[in-house]
Amino acid sequence: MEYLLLQVLNGVQLGLLMFLLAAGLTLTLGIMDLVNLAHGSLYMMGAYIAWTLIGVTDSFVLGTLLALPAIFLLGVAVEIVVIRKLYARDHLTQVLATFGLILFFNELVRALWGPAGKSIAVPGFLNRTIEILPGVPYPAYRFAIIVVGALVAILLAWLVARTRLGMLIRAGASNRRMIGALGVNIELLFSLVFGLGAVFAGLAGLMAAPIASVRIGMGDDILILALVIIVIGGIGSIKGAFIAAMVVGQIDIVGRAFLPDILKTFMSSSAASSAAPAISQVLVYVLMAVVLVWRPTGLFGQRT
Amino acid sequence: MMAALRTPRGLATALILLVLAVLPLLTQAFDQRYLLSIGTRIVIWSIAAVSLNMILGYGGLVSFGHAMFFGIGGYAVGILSAEGVSSGWIQWPVALLAATAWAALIGALSLRTRGLYFIMITLAFAQLVYYVGSGLEAYGGDDGLNISRSRFPGLIDLRDKASFYWLCFALLCASLWFCGRYANSHFGLVLRGAKSNELRMTALGFPVFRYRLAAFTIAGALGGLSGILLANEGAYVSPAMMSWMKSGDLIVIVVLGGMGALFGPLYGTIAFFVLEEALPPLLNLAHKGWGEYWMIVFGPLLVLIALYARGGIDSLLGRRHE
Amino acid sequence: MKNKLFGTATIAAAMAFGLPAMAQSPIKIGFVSTFSGPQAAIGEDMRRSVELAKEHLGGKMGGKPFEIIYEDDQFKPDVGKARSEKLVQQDKVNFIAGYIWSNVLLASYKTVVDEGDTILVSANAGPSQIAGDLCNKNFFSTSWQNDQTPMAMGEYLNTKGVKSLYLVGPNYAAGKDMLAGVKRTYKGKIVSEDYTKWPDQLDFSAEMTKIAAAKPDGIFIFYPGAHGVQFVKQWAQSGLNKTVPLYQVFSIDAITLPQQGDLALGTLGAQEWVNDLPNEANKKYVADFKKKHGVYPSYYGAQSYDAIMLMASAAEALKGDLSSKDKVRAEMKKANFKSVRGDFKFGNNNFPIENFYIQETVKDPQGMMTVKTIATAVKDAVDPFAAKCPMK
């Protein structure tokens, strides 16, 4: 029972981490109809910038708090130099151009920080386990990820449902031309939203840094996963992204924690232990294919 | 024919094809065996690019998983070879059939979606094939599989580099000829019409879905052919040949050459390989050690191409009259 | 500039006087490794060691100058193969070395060894196919066959009396080889054998929870590079470092240790080379490497250093005349050089017959993370695939 609870919690934690990454992506995709593959690069830059600032300030909290505005500025800069020119273009152009950005950022990081990976330590006050139930320890830092992820989800929900910016985002997701007609300064709004998306990406990167390793290309692997989540949830839907992230998180954990045992009930032990990871590796892709065959615009996407 | 040669495009294309046709003789004369190796890869990748161009260029269908057909064609040959079936007369048809059937199946599922969803679902299927490939432990899994080249006894020896090259080149010419016919046929016109306005084509009573499915299937088969050749070229197959990065490379090549231009894939592949081979040494000339950072140049170059050169190299050769 | 001119003039004069041009042309060595992307740190470590070997040799082998051409495989088999092809066919190198990854080596293997003019020396990758069925007289290894290192670890765990073991590794070919390797020798109970996604898994919380519930006597892992950093960090963060000791192969080394830091302290690993092995060649190599770069070399570097030294030994014995490949191969087979791992012999498949040591992660007196030898796990180990190789 405790075991089950812990694994569910692991799934929630993983899902929220992925939601952090997907949130920024769905924001830019939803409002600006922009496929930004370089989102993973912003995730990586968040981790590297945080590493530098934590080194300078010698404080995890301070370094992190300074890194967020820095990554916002980076995001706005990228938007002005490249992204701005992509809004009017088709998805293919966007994929190509932002793919070019990935290559650029990976090599830039290597030139600036060197090829060796970096490490961010878990801050002292979180470097312990806490008892979520009597006698059931859980790493405090993982719990912090859950808290931050949940806070971001709530913040976004509030932002989208209750604020003027949110109104524009919702309007943008359903009809982009409308916002222009409403007399909104689109250029500024888009820069702002892209910067905000970058902040979410950077936040995901620096939150993941203490459990993962800060390295070149760290965002490339999980970018695809973030795109998968958005597509399952439906483009532009924050709610969809959240639900999809939670489902993918749970599926991933189930695949790793329970699938081998389930398979062992009807196949040999060695066959099960080699089949299980293969199955769990493709499970999210199968899920996405099934969802799209069933609903061609994702779970909560706009019907066309 | 002669009139075509007077345009820059015609002249350039004729020159390229001429050089490619006699490449083995040239490399032998100048003792540049490595150039023949690059040439072979360029020709094979061009076939793959031609096949992607059929759906991406003419149909506007952005498949982000086209490298999976490298894998399916390659693995069909590889697995048969590992099982002791070395005859190309069995290997090649089986591989083509596998690629065609798979393309038809996933085409039927994927073509229900549009835009980014289509990009992602093709990626998902490619990832599926990729992980199945790396899960094939009996056939090397992630390490890949060393194979022997297909045998066509009495007809051609694929181990001979020049003969293999000429075979690839002949197949490229055949694909280009086929693609030219295809583009200007009734079929190609419907496909292009649906690219610019799907609603109108549907309203006109064309079953757009079926046309697209047919195009996707043909492209898959041709992609499978390039996989067969690629496996024979390296005498090796591995899941890496169908990683999503390779699918990305193929898209870059098609756009670089000029989408929907008959010879675009050929220009694109040549430019891509030349960039890859030449950028590092060029940067090393500028400053020793910079060569390893060639992607810092290549990345922004890609951005610029995407932004400002949508017609690709083809558009640099003057206006196309369609 | 003047010197260069003078040099050119000498060569021209030599040629004019009918001296064989071959005798004057430098020995060419190609080196294929990963110099870009996430794994570039490994390639950099190898290159530093190769450059150090060049320095120690005074830039000459058997009296002839030699040049090294580095090529980046980008961690992709097809790129590695294309680069190897270029080195063999265009640069016409005498030797080609490097290769971190099994799949890159396997993709490049045939183009190099079948060509016959170039001798391939793997400085890391050791897939079973090449040790067995595909073995070739033009191939030498200065590392190991994949199964050997975990096998040594299994032997050590037996003597240490570790009763039950939980195995975790990535779900790809080398990961499976490694877990299979430890199972070949380990006699205790295997509690579970978990494979994780490769290469995109960053979270190991599910595995940690499973391990905590299973309560084994030890965990055995294989996670090269960045993944080793992640696994070790998460193992320590989960609190398991207080209850279940970690035994590893290729997951904690001089490249990952700066990132793993204190979290890796006390963990044990197996390796055929350790930076504190007490032989003269090793002392010189490690001391000079540290002096130059301020960090310890890794086993990737040590194996690369040995690869160059092995070539040099053959060139030395033949006085720089590499025209007869048979003679070069025969000289290399003798392994007549001072390896940083101590002396070793080549087996019938041209893989080393060598010792494996157990190393513990510690802090050196200056507070830098490193590993030190604590035991010899196996002596003169022959890899399990040597019998499958038809060469004598």
pLDDT in tens, B14-30: 999 999 999 999 999 99
For residue C176, pLDDT beyond 50: yes
Mean pLDDT for B197-226 is: 94
Q: How far apart are CA C356 and CA C379, in angstroms?
A: 7
The string of DSSP codes covering B126-180 is HHHHHHHHHH-GGGTGGG-EE-PPPBBTTTB-TTSHHHHHHHHHHHHHHHHHHHH
Q: Is C194 on the interface with A (CB under 8 A)?
A: yes
Q: Do C174 and B142 touch (CB under 8 A)?
A: yes
Q: How far apart are CA A261 and CA A254, in angstroms?
A: 10
For residue B61, pLDDT beyond 80: yes
Q: What is the pLDDT of residue C25?
A: 81
Q: How confident is the model at residue C149 (pLDDT cuts 50, 70, 90)?
A: very high
The CA distance from A275 to the nearest CA of chain B, in Å, is 8
Q: Which domains does chain B have, with CATH numbers?
A: 15-316 (1.10.3470)
Q: How confident is the model at residue C1 (pLDDT cuts 50, 70, 90)?
A: very low
Q: Do C259 and A222 touch (CB under 8 A)?
A: no
Instruction: Please enumerate in sequence order all residues whose Cβ is within 8 A of that of B145, keeping only pairs 6 or more positions apart, or say none.
Output: B78, B79, B82, B139, B236, B237, B238
Q: How far apart are CA C324 and CA C321, in angstroms?
A: 8
For residue C363, the one-letter residue type is K
The CA distance from C35 to the nearest CA of chain B, in Å, is 7
CB C31 within 8 Å of CB C97: yes
Measuring CA to CA, how many Å separate A292 from each of A232, B78, B124, B238, C293? 7, 32, 11, 29, 53
Q: What is the pLDDT of residue C8?
A: 47
- In chain C, the percentage of residues whose pLDDT exceeds 90 is 83
Q: Is the peptide bond before A137 cis (omega within 30 degrees of 0)?
A: no
- In chain B, the percentage of residues whose pLDDT exceeds 90 is 68
Q: Is A36 on the interface with C (CB under 8 A)?
A: no
Q: Is B236 on the interface with C (CB under 8 A)?
A: yes
| Helix/strand/coil percentages in chain A, nearest 5 | 75, 5, 20
For residue C351, pLDDT beyond 90: yes
Q: How far apart are CA B107 and CA B111, in angstroms?
A: 6
Bin B151: left if φ > 0, else alpha if -120 < ψ < 50, else beta: beta
Q: What is the pLDDT of residue B233?
A: 94
The CA distance from C305 to the nearest CA of chain B, in Å, is 21
Q: Is A62 on the interface with C (CB under 8 A)?
A: no
Contacts of B298 in chain A (CB under 8 A): 100, 103
Q: Is C82 on the interface with B (CB under 8 A)?
A: yes
Measuring CA to CA, how many Å separate B126 from each of A296, B220, B231, B245? 18, 12, 18, 11
Q: Do A211 and C195 touch (CB under 8 A)?
A: no
For residue B29, the one-letter residue type is A
Q: How far apart are CA A39 and CA B72, in angstroms?
A: 31
Q: How confident is the model at residue B5 (pLDDT cuts 50, 70, 90)?
A: confident
CA-based torsion, B88, B94, B96, B98: positive or negative: negative
Q: Is A225 on the interface with B (CB under 8 A)?
A: no
Contacts of B134 in chain C (CB under 8 A): 172, 198
Least confident residue range of A148-152, A171-175, B64-68: A171-175
Q: How far apart are CA B166 and CA B173, in angstroms?
A: 10
The pLDDT mean for chain B works out to: 91
Q: Do A235 and B125 touch (CB under 8 A)?
A: no
pTM of the model: 0.90
Q: Is B241 on the interface with C (CB under 8 A)?
A: yes
Dihedral of the CA atoms B6, B12, B14, B16 (nearest 10)?
Answer: 170
Provide the chain B residues 4-33 that lie in CB contact (below 8 A) with chain C: 32-33
Instruction: Please enumerate in sequence order all residues whose Cβ is within 8 A of that of B29, keeping only pairs 6 or more positions apart, or say none.
Output: none
Nearest to A25 by CA among A157, A161, A208, A193: A193
To which H or E segment does residue C377 belong?
strand C369-381
Which position has the token pair 């963990």?
A: C267
Least confident residue range of A74-88, B92-106, B125-139, C241-255: B125-139
Q: How far apart are CA A103 and CA A106, in angstroms?
A: 5
The pLDDT mean for chain C works out to: 91
Q: How far apart are CA A266 and CA C266, in angstroms?
A: 40
CA-based torsion, C238, C241, C247, C252: positive or negative: positive
Instruction: Please enumerate in sequence order all residues whose Cβ is within 8 A of that of A135, keeping only pairs 6 or more positions apart, or say none.
Output: A2
For residue B255, the one-letter residue type is V
Mean pLDDT for C222-244 is: 91
The CA distance from C175 to the nearest CA of chain A, in Å, is 11
Beta bridge partners of A40: none
Contacts of B159 in chain C (CB under 8 A): none
For residue C106, pLDDT beyond 50: yes
Q: What is the pLDDT of residue A197?
A: 93
Q: How far apart are CA A16 and CA A262, in angstroms?
A: 26
Least confident residue range of B6-20, B209-223, B284-298, C109-123: B284-298
Q: Do B143 and C90 touch (CB under 8 A)?
A: no
Q: Do C206 and A256 touch (CB under 8 A)?
A: yes
Q: Is A101 on the interface with B (CB under 8 A)?
A: yes
C135: Cα separation from own chain's centroid = 18
Q: What is the pLDDT of residue A151?
A: 94
A32 against C65, higher pLDDT: C65
Q: How far apart are CA C210 and CA C194, in angstroms?
A: 10
Nearest to C179 by CA among C165, C163, C164, C167: C167
B1 against A167, higher pLDDT: A167
CB A190 within 8 Å of CB A32: yes
Q: What is the pLDDT of residue C9?
A: 45
Q: What is the pLDDT of residue C13?
A: 44
H-assigned helices in B22-160: 23-29, 33-56, 67-82, 88-110, 115-135
Q: How confident is the model at residue C197 (pLDDT cuts 50, 70, 90)?
A: confident
Contacts of B234 in chain C (CB under 8 A): 78, 81, 107, 111
The CA distance from B139 to the nearest CA of chain C, in Å, is 10
Q: What is the pLDDT of residue C165?
A: 97
Q: Is B224 on the interface with C (CB under 8 A)?
A: no
Cα nearest neighbour of B276 on chain C: C79
| Touching partners of B (3+ C-beta pairs < 8 Å) | A, C
CB A49 within 8 Å of CB A71: yes
Q: What is the pLDDT of residue A176?
A: 63
Q: Is C81 on the interface with B (CB under 8 A)?
A: yes
3-state secondary structure of C325: helix
What do you get for the CA distance between the two ends of chain C, in Å? 51
Q: Do C209 and A14 touch (CB under 8 A)?
A: no
Q: What is the pLDDT of residue C333?
A: 96
CB B27 within 8 Å of CB B40: no
Mean pLDDT for C163-167 is: 96
Q: Do A213 and C40 touch (CB under 8 A)?
A: no
Count A/C contacts: CB-CB distance under 8 Å.
Answer: 119
Contacts of B241 in chain C (CB under 8 A): 77-78
Mean pLDDT for A90-109 is: 91
Count A/B contacts: CB-CB distance under 8 Å.
Answer: 127
Provide the chain A residues 198-257 that lie in CB contact (below 8 A) with chain C: 208, 210-213, 215-218, 221-222, 224-225, 252-253, 256-257
Name the most confidently modeled range: B182-196, C187-201, C280-294. C280-294
Contacts of B144 in chain C (CB under 8 A): 77, 103, 106-107
| Touching partners of C (3+ C-beta pairs < 8 Å) | A, B
Q: Is A293 on the interface with B (CB under 8 A)?
A: yes
Q: What is the pLDDT of residue C21?
A: 43
CB A200 within 8 Å of CB A40: no
Q: Which two tokens stand for residue C239?
A: 């609190």
Interface test with C, best of A211, A268, A269, A279 (most C CBs within 10 A): A211
Q: Which domains does chain C have, with CATH numbers?
A: 2-144+278-343 (3.40.50.2300), 148-271+356-386 (3.40.50.2300)
Q: How confident is the model at residue B321 (pLDDT cuts 50, 70, 90)?
A: low
CB A31 within 8 Å of CB A193: yes
For residue B304, pLDDT beyond 80: yes
Report the largest interatomic distance among the alpha carbons of chain A, rounded to a whole angstrom: 66
Mean pLDDT for B266-270 is: 96
Domain ranges of chain A: 14-217
Cα nearest neighbour of A122 on chain C: C237
Q: How far apart are CA B161 and CA B235, in angstroms?
A: 12
Nearest to A74 by CA among A106, A45, A110: A45
Q: What is the pLDDT of residue A204?
A: 94
For residue C17, pLDDT beyond 70: no
Q: How far apart are CA B251 and CA B62, in angstroms?
A: 8
Q: What is the pLDDT of residue A189?
A: 83
Q: Is C134 on the interface with B (CB under 8 A)?
A: yes
Mean pLDDT for A80-91 is: 90
For residue A304, pLDDT beyond 70: no
Q: Give the model confidence (pLDDT) of C309-332 as tens digits.
A: 999 999 999 999 999 999 999 999
Strand bridging mode C218-222 / C164-170: parallel
For residue A185, pLDDT beyond 50: yes
Q: Do C38 and A208 touch (CB under 8 A)?
A: no
Which position has the token pair 């130099």?
A: A81
Half-sphere exposure (Cβ direction) of C27: Cα atoms closer than 13 Å: 28
**Other CB atoms within 10 Å distance of the CB of residue C388:** 15
Q: What is the pLDDT of residue A172?
A: 65
Provide the chain A residues 31-50 that lie in CB contact (below 8 A) with chain B: 35
B87: DSSP letter = B
Q: What is the pLDDT of residue A278?
A: 78
Q: What is the pLDDT of residue B47?
A: 98
The string of DSSP codes covering A183-243 is T--HHHHHHHHHHHHHHHHHHHHHHHTTTS-B-TTHHHHHHHHHHHHHHHH-TT-HHHHHH
Q: Is C243 on the interface with A (CB under 8 A)?
A: no
Q: How far apart are CA B26 and CA B181, in angstroms?
A: 31
CB C220 within 8 Å of CB C193: no
Q: What is the pLDDT of residue C12?
A: 46
CA-based torsion, B217, B218, B219, B222: positive or negative: positive
Bin A51: left if φ > 0, else alpha if -120 < ψ < 50, else beta: alpha
Q: Is A283 on the interface with B (CB under 8 A)?
A: no
